Structure 1
């Protein structure tokens, strides 16, 4: 019998492989480094707080270590989720379970707009909860967004 954490990691594997395999058909890959560089993404420390936000529907929160807090308008104080981190070649992912539903968030470097402010975020966030897929942006203290603090 597979425990819940192992099951979530297995479910996150396709997203992790997507992070590792994102390459263009030209000479240059679309991920940091070159084709011979197989080191895991290391721009975000394991103890660094990463904040994220998305719209349609609105969602957000933060993750640090093995705890992710997921917020929606219905849960403004957030729901705490135990997560496992995976450092892929071109980004990171965190996987856990939210209300008995698989939860995986991936983070890749790249300019991101929330579509509602003049901010530019340094990371693209992709969230999958069960079969629902959402897009958003992310930042951290070491990698802040650019723009007004209170849009």
Structure 2
């Protein structure tokens, strides 16, 4: 990963949605792993309705998703995912199958005996740390660990500042 890509990945990790963590046992290796099941910060009630069967996101194949507490990100390009954390840089390449489900997009697979699933929901999301707004809500299951956050299409602006949304 080039220095600009690494910087961009680190910046995204810091900008995307907040999560809380509590310890749960990971049956894959018996170690204790964070279970981040808290929801992203609530968004403005005037936001567009969530999840439609004809969602435009179903045709998109490149996303950036992530959250904080713990910091994580997943960059999606087709069926390849790059899962990164501050401890796992430049990231772990995962091969996934892609499925459109109820207007949402789900990527799933297995890596070294550990199942993973990234679900991107056509639902607005606001990063509780930065306040940035994003088009989608993300959930990443990595073994027994669940992380939540926000997502956007690759190439879209990082987010919309809270005070810019008139």
Output the TM-score relative to the length of structure 2. 0.60
Matched, 1:31 2:44: no
Paired residues of 1:42 and 1:87 also in contact (CA < 8 A): no
**Over residues 100-120 of structure 1, what are the superposed CA-to-partner deviations in whole Å (9 max), with x where a residue is unaligned?**
200001000112122111210
Equivalenced residue count is 113
**Over residues 38-76 of structure 1, what are the superposed CA-to-partner deviations in whole Å (9 max), with x where a residue is unaligned?**
x6x542435x42001111211003101110000001112
The 1-side partners of 2:112 and 2:68 are apart by: 21
Q: Which residue does 1:135 correspond to in 2?
A: 148
Paired residues of 2:58 and 2:104 also in contact (CA < 8 A): no
Q: Which has the higher contact order (CA 8 A, sep 6+)?
A: 2
The 2-side partners of 1:59 and 1:132 are apart by: 12
Unaligned runs of 5+ residues in structure 1 are 1-28, 34-38
Q: CA RMSD in A?
A: 2.3
The 1-side partners of 2:70 and 2:154 are apart by: 25
Matched, 1:81 2:94: yes
The 1-side partners of 2:156 and 2:103 are apart by: 16
